[in-house]
Structure 1
Amino acid sequence: MFFIRLLLASAVTFCFTSFVFGATVLVDDEIRALRDIAKTLGKYWNFDEDPCSAPSVWARDPKNDAVNCNCNIPNTTGCHVVSIYLKEQSLPGTLPPELVNLPYLEHIDLTRNYLNGTIPPKWGSFTRLVDVSLLGNRLTGTIPKELGNISTLKNLTLEFNMLSGSLPKELGNLMNIERLHFTSNYFTGEVPETFAGLTTMKDL
């Protein structure tokens, strides 16, 4: 009888240990990327807690101050960051090129901060990005033509910044775009003829 109890206790301990240490967490490469992103944005995140296992720390406000993960993406292991919402956080930094090191990122919302500098051309290498809002910051420079490479993009909101120059004709390659918001910047020139091919557009 004692042997049976000992065996049962050992089995329970093993299962508990396997659950704890086998818990699905954010992959190491994306943790490193978040550390770089935090420095560039001027954002404090508590890296003592796993971003995908501590929603009370990393997703305090689902649409305004949150890093959200998906742990069930087919043909992948571990968890991956799929959205970053940092609205009205008084962020003083610049836009991080390192965001492209989150390969499963779909949503970026940095609305109404104090971010300055330019939009990184490197963002054109996103392969799953659907939604970008940079409304109400202090961004300067031109819209990188490389953004036209993001075939998954549905929303690009750049209103109320200090962007300038002409609108790149390459944005006409955004085959899934539904919304382009560019109000209150310093753009010059004509709207590119390539925009006529944006058959999914609903709001310009």
Structure 2
Amino acid sequence: MFDIKAANLTGVLPGESSAGSVTYPGCTDLSRNYINGSIPAANWTSLPLKNFFLSGNNFSGELPETLSNLKNLIDVRLDGTEISGKIPSFTGNWTKLERL
């Protein structure tokens, strides 16, 4: 589990090379921080994430297409962000999803 909830983090999420250095977090919880910018395409897709919590941050833009490969997701939380656009059609790839 990669849990850095309510840790007063600021800035942007790491890009392509940094996210892949985290090994097997079944859950990534970065909620209730001050992270801004877009959600990077990054190597999140190489991780077998089941829970992906980004709520309560200042994210903007749309969800990157590379998130379509996160096929083990059960729970995704994006509330309280400035993410824009429609719910992408690739969320249909998240066949195990129980909560969005």
TM bucket (normalised to shorter chain) is: 0.7 to 0.9
Q: TM-score, normalised by structure 2?
A: 0.87
Higher normalized strand content (fraction of residues): 2
Please list the CA deviations of residues 137-181 of structure 1 after superposition, one character each: whole Å capped at 9, or x if unmatched: 10001011221211111111000011112221011111111111x
2:88 counterpart letter in structure 1? P
* Residue 93 of structure 2 is aligned to residue 151 of structure 1: no
Where 1:175 maps in the other structure, the secondary structure is coil
Q: 1:85 to 1:161 in 2, by over 3 A?
A: same
Q: How does 1:47-86 map to 2 (within 5 A)?
A: 83-86=1-4
How many residue pairs end up in the alignment? 98
Gaps of 5+ in 1: 1-82, 181-204
Which position in structure 2 is the counterpart of 1:169? Answer: 89
Contact 2:19 2:44 in 1 (8 A): no
Alignment identity in percent? 34
Question: What is aligned with 2:21?
Answer: 101
- Contact in 2 for aligned 1:124/1:148 (Cα 8 Å): no
* Structure with greater contact order relative to length (CA < 8 Å, sep ≥ 6): 2
Q: Give the 3-state SS of the residue equivalent to 2:96 in structure 1.
A: coil
List alignment gaps of at least 5 residues for structure 2: none
Counterpart contact for 2:14–2:42, Cα < 8 Å: no
Q: Is the Cα contact below 8 Å between 1:84 and 1:107 reproduced in 2?
A: yes
How much has 1:124 moved relative to structure 2? 4.9
Q: Does 1:91 align with 2:91?
A: no
Q: Which residue of 1 aligns with 2:40?
A: 120
Q: Pick closer, same or farther for the CA change 1:89–1:126 going to 2, 3 Å.
A: same
1:89: how far off? 1.2
Look up the match of 1:179: 99
For 1:155 and 1:120, locate their aligned partners in 2 and report how far apart those are by CA, in whole Å.
Answer: 19
